Structure 1
């Protein structure tokens, strides 16, 4: 603020002392400041198909009213009213095209612990959603089976060979190479020139027995009590071929992979006569009412009864009701006639295979 003469030139303030000096400042913009949330444009979806997300810029800015538009000043998120707008949202870019691919499982164990064998894994064609499909190119199918082995292992293949490798040990369990598998075999007679191989029956005598039933109906044309066994029947107990034998080990002929059913070294005859392994019979009835029984359980031994093993009936009115488990480890039979029995076929014998 200046003191001026009539021509407008600046003079000393003493010439203006008789006049009231005008104010040189006054208040302006006395209304409260306004802050608003400002949002930017959403970005494109983060994926080209399926579920994704989008982002945008969100800020709190001071707003000034200009002549034709709004101007934005400094930012301060603490001054904006309410909850800030979302800066993130999900988006759907539409269904993805289905793509088939081969899915592989892990390799299983080698089929042998000694020598050359094979291992397998699952190979499945699936869509991108994990559903089974048959549209994968077969030319790109991964292998589901491959060779494996342990050429460095040298296990004996018989008790005789084990005897030669270790001198003359006592009878007992030995690990032998049976058809490429390392299996536990009981070697008996190791102090002799001809030791024998035996399979130790892990389930014991309760599930490894053979019986020829000793009771005979007074009227052999009947089949009383719906095939059930009752000793208070109208019968007599005088069948001289009857017997019950149980087994803890059975002799194995390695050259034929056949169980020798008439080896009694590890068998006990509880009553009557010796009954060979896998044999049952009776002289009970002529009306298809078998009472003789046998049971084989090779579970845990590494062996199973071969599919080629068949049972045949012998004698008068003989029948054989044979049941095998799916894996061949168990076989049970009800056999008999008047008089009759069942045994493994003489053409094949009781063949076993490595599991």
Structure 2
């Protein structure tokens, strides 16, 4: 390079511009004149050199999917439950990323209306006394034990339950 302009040797490559995934690395060189640095002449070629650098993929933390639709209630009356779920797949954890935190299943109460109560007959028991006359004209009393239906209140129909049937 004596008496001429020329490039110095390339410098070291810089660190990659990112800590994960794909980035760039740069190296530089300087244009110098051996005899007269005040001359305003330039060297031919690029001052900077760039290359792609690839480092391990970035960690991807898991994210929840949307909740599913609620399932059917476990009962049609009284206290039941229904459920819905979600998954850690939107996206799923990758390359050392963290798993989702929270519940995958949600449960809620449903169908708090009371169940129908159908009516039942109440019975009463007792003795019945019967007076009869035989063929000789004699009278006699006889007692008999009996069970009789009385009212439709054991239990009383409620919440759409059916009345007692005859």
Same fold (TM over 0.5): no
More RCO (CA 8 Å, sep 6+): 2
- Please state which band the TM-score falls in when normalised by the shorter chain: 0.3 to 0.5
Q: More strand by proportion, 1 or 2?
A: 1
Return the TM-score normalized by structure 1. Answer: 0.21
